Structure 1
Amino acid sequence: MIWVLLLLSLLLLLLLLPSYRVREGTAARNHSEENLRLYEERTEELQASDMDDEEKSALQLELDREFLANAEPETASGQAQSGIKRWPLAFAMVAVVVAGTLLFYQFWGASVELKATGLLDKAAQAELTKPEREQLISYLQQAADKNPQNQEWYYLYGRMLTVNSEFDRAAKVFADILVTLPEEAVEDRAVTLTLLAQAKFFAADQKADEETYNLLKESLELQPDNRQTQGLAGMLAFELNKYQAAIEHWKAVWLSLPDSPEAQMLAQGIQRAAERLQEQGETADLSWMKRASIKVLVDLSEEARQAVKADDTVFVLARAVSGPPMPLAARKLTVADLPQVITLSDAQAMAPGMNISSYDQLTLVARVSASGQPQPQSGDWQALKTPVSNQEESMIRLVVDEQIP
């Protein structure tokens, strides 16, 4: 539509300009012809007069100068006026194009994506009213239908339907997305399977069934570390009397959590599942529910103590021997605090799923940092011990005695 307006405006401009040029050229020619006629009449009268040749030459020269003086301003004036007349027309045409473009853009709904984005931004800051939610759903549906290759709009549409408790419609959207995803899109398929299972579960008034549970198991085969999927799978497994499976699902979530109220609530669910197993004559091994903690005595060698300052920072941390470099637990002290016994546990986890209970073998590090930064630098003093079991019951002694070159 925008291009049509531009082309029509350009065509109109091309049609108008020649007519202005013709009118301006005609007026200029008429004026010049009148000047020429008067000049010729006066010249003839001068030649027919009784003046001598010298007087005639002087007057003829004066007539020539007057003719030229009249002709040049007219030409310049015609050109200036022509330019002046064209500018208002040009500005008017630009104004028409801009106004028309915006009006048609709004009228034909070309800004649906912008409207949807605006409401999504608002939803991130405050709760939308019911009419706003319904309007957003409408915009997202239009944007999704308009951009079928961009699945992000379909995901947003399905999620908004879920938020609006329209679970049946949401399930259909996620099912349609799943059909279009290739097998190699592992992460996208896993997420979509979870969203589909979630929508179907709530559409059934939170009643578990094998079909929905199987969707979650399929998702976990693709993405086993997804806590949301593991948690929901545990709920469905429990409702389906699959108590051992529920424990396994919740175990994965519990081990990824720090010692927190959320972990304590999950532990209660695990205990209930274990009790149901006992009622069925089975037993559940819950020894893994003991939170890993390691006691560490941190001290300095005499050489190190003489080289550092009392207010230098001391970092004590535990890392996985085989795993990400991010610390699983960390404490911050000063040289003046040493020697000191500390406990490293899941309570000091720095990220979900990154705690010492999740990794059997650990590396313990104590480092004195003159800069106060946790990253090791030349001149820092440190102690390192590896491997250490996360179930170690005896106290580990770390004596800072090595200087980093």
Structure 2
Amino acid sequence: MIEFWLSAGLLLLAALGFLLIPVLRGRKVQAAEDRTALNVTLYQERLQELENQRQTGTLSEEQWQNGRDEAARELLADTDGAESTARVGVLGSKVPLTAALLMPLLGYGLYLYWGAIDDVERARTFVEQPQTIEAMTARLEAAVKADPKSVEGWYFLGRTYMAQERAADAAGAFERAVALAGRKPELLGQWAQALYFSGDKQWTEQLQALADEALQADPAEVTSLGLLGIAAYEEGRFEEAIGFWERLVAVLPEQDPSRQAIQGGIARARERLAVPTDTTPAAAATGQLRVKVDLAAALKDKVQPSDSVFVFARAASGTPMPLAVKRLTVADLPTEVSLSDSDAMMPQLKISGFAQVQLVARISRSGNASAGEWIGRSQPLPSSTTEAQHLTIDTADGQAQ
């Protein structure tokens, strides 16, 4: 911004210089006019002197006439070019001076109307690549604030919110994108998915309507197919889940990294169809971890009872996405929670599907599960562990390793 105004100031000074040249010339014109007036006065005095000499008989008629002619020639020689300069003088004094005074105001007004310094600043900001997802989120939030009609800005902001597990915020962003771009299938699918996860994975008539509308417009809309499969699996409708996921696999490119996870979900759904539901304690313990969560005494004065606490399990290696999540508040601590396959965020990503997992508890005043103020982590442990694990939140989030 500073560089812009310095450049604009230099250009303005150059423009004023051209406009003020006639004003400076006007001073020379005034001096020429004063000299001309003096010459005329001297000419008149010379004529009067010649007339007096003729009347007294000092000059003959011929001498008197020669003297008048000589005085006239001298006057013409002294005033040669002064008239043309004087004619320019009126234009070169008042008009350029007025234009010079009005030029800054006129330029500033035109810039306010047509200028694009905000776009220049945004372009400069977007040249640098963000180092964290939080930086990307802040950049996208600034972009949609500066340009609320940017469909791409709202869409990518929604995707970024989903990556941060901020499904409610993502639903709002996708809703804005739909309002701006129309009811495009891919936007409807993303909107429905965000609503599903922000609503604690409860299927509603609104979600069904959005998914149906998206698939009616595009039968191969991948987000809607995946979401319908997830909802069917969670409700025990395994045949329907298999059908939706098989349609999804059929339209995904061969190199798509999500194909393997979806095919794993299809395999598990088929297993559930083939194996009767087992309600014995041993079966219930499969893919289930018990976690006792506590807060370090040194931190009790640094948090508020309403601060969010996220307790989750994630794979010790591989995908960083949480496998199961529970949300509490600081006021609930200490407490014991159970994380199981039924808490999975995605049916193809379950605790029982990984050999080792890590337990994490995070305090986030903003309600952001991916970043907060304080954190506690366990060492990797087998996903089949049955004894309760103890997890203490005792480390600043940015210092945790």
TM-score after normalising by structure 2: 0.49
